[in-house]
Structure 1
Amino acid sequence: MNTQKIRLVCGECHTINQFPAERLDDTPICAQCKSHLFSGEPINVNSTNLIRHIENSGIPVLIDFWAPWCGPCLSFAPTFKEMAKIVGNQLRLLKVDTQDNQQTAMDFNIRSIPTLALYRDGEELARTSGAFPLPQLQQWVIQHLTEA
């Protein structure tokens, strides 16, 4: 029997974990730090951890590029947090503070904030700028995941 493996980076210690795909619903924990791999919260990442998550995620990754001085970013934060609770183990939500990670913002060609970028299997599927209400955010993600 050939069991498909899934890779997922821990939000706490950023260790790459691998486990059978059918165990995704079993509340997997990190092999290194024993934290739950899904917390229902977006994960704050820096430039190093961002690449690690994008390249080693067996599930799609949605990234919020934001800054603490950005009004629309701050008003969108609760929506992004709510999205993390709703999607559970089907989507990995990351947040990148572009003020603290300016080189990353340049590397990812972030020209306005908030910017959302959706990745699957290490490849960017879609990108958009601006803050959305939750139903529009969900629709945007579903649309781009089903088109790809």
Structure 2
Amino acid sequence: MSDALHVVCPHCNTVNRVPSARLAMQPDCGKCGRPVFTGHPAELDAPGFEKQVGRSDIPVLVDFWAPWCGPCRAMAPAYEQAASQLEPAMRVVKLNTEEAQELAARHGIRSIPTLALFQNGREVARQAGAMDAGSIVAWARRHAAR
């Protein structure tokens, strides 16, 4: 099972080993039994963020946002559309910076919405400002291919 990838469940944060050939076959979590990929952004808290970013073998696209932010709310439907196109090649998540202020500060989030792409536990790309679904998908794929 050398081609197995570590994929973190968005529901219970369990790390699952999924053969790369089965990523697109809608695998379920070995612990909670729920789908590992939903085609929707997973809403994370700080511990969930750390687990997703630190343990996932697939890229993790993070939307740093806040509920009071007009551009964040305007971009939410586009981010939702992008998730359905990007998963299972990458995990698509949202992190509310109001609820995880320390984490947002540690990552230097100064404006929202900000998208950040993480691979192997480290940030590889960042983009501030609202985007449409096509731009989100193109940006994420371009930077994940590096």
* Deviation of 1:134 (Å): 1.6
Please list every run of 5 or more consecutive structure 2 residues that lacks an aligned counterpart in the other structure.
Answer: none
Residue 58 (structure 1) aligns with: 57
Q: Deviations over 1:38-73 (max 9, x none)?
A: 111100011111010011112111000000000000
* Deviation of 1:122 (Å): 1.4
1:95 lines up with 2:111 in the alignment: no
Q: Deviations over 1:112-135 (max 9, x none)?
A: 100100011212110011001122
RMSD: 1.2
Residue 27 (structure 1) aligns with: 26
Where has structure 1 moved over 3 Å in runs of 4 or more?
none
2: CA distance, partners of 1:93 / 1:136: 15
1: CA distance, partners of 2:20 / 2:134: 28
Q: How many residues align?
A: 146
1: CA distance, partners of 2:57 / 2:33: 19
2: CA distance, partners of 1:130 / 1:5: 35
* Deviation of 1:142 (Å): 2.2
2: CA distance, partners of 1:44 / 1:114: 15
CA contact (8 A) 2:7 2:16 kept: yes
1: CA distance, partners of 2:85 / 2:73: 20
1:70 lines up with 2:88 in the alignment: no
Q: Deviations over 1:84-111 (max 9, x none)?
A: 1112311111100001111111111110
1:1-148 to 2 correspondence within 5 Å?
3-146=2-145, 148=146
- TM score, norm. by length of structure 1: 0.93
CA contact (8 A) 1:3 1:21 kept: no
CA contact (8 A) 1:8 1:56 kept: yes
**Counterpart of 2:24 in 1: which secondary structure?**
coil
CA contact (8 A) 1:9 1:57 kept: yes
Please list every run of 5 or more consecutive structure 1 residues that lacks an aligned counterpart in the other structure.
Answer: none
Query: What is the percent sequence identity of the aligned residues?
Result: 37
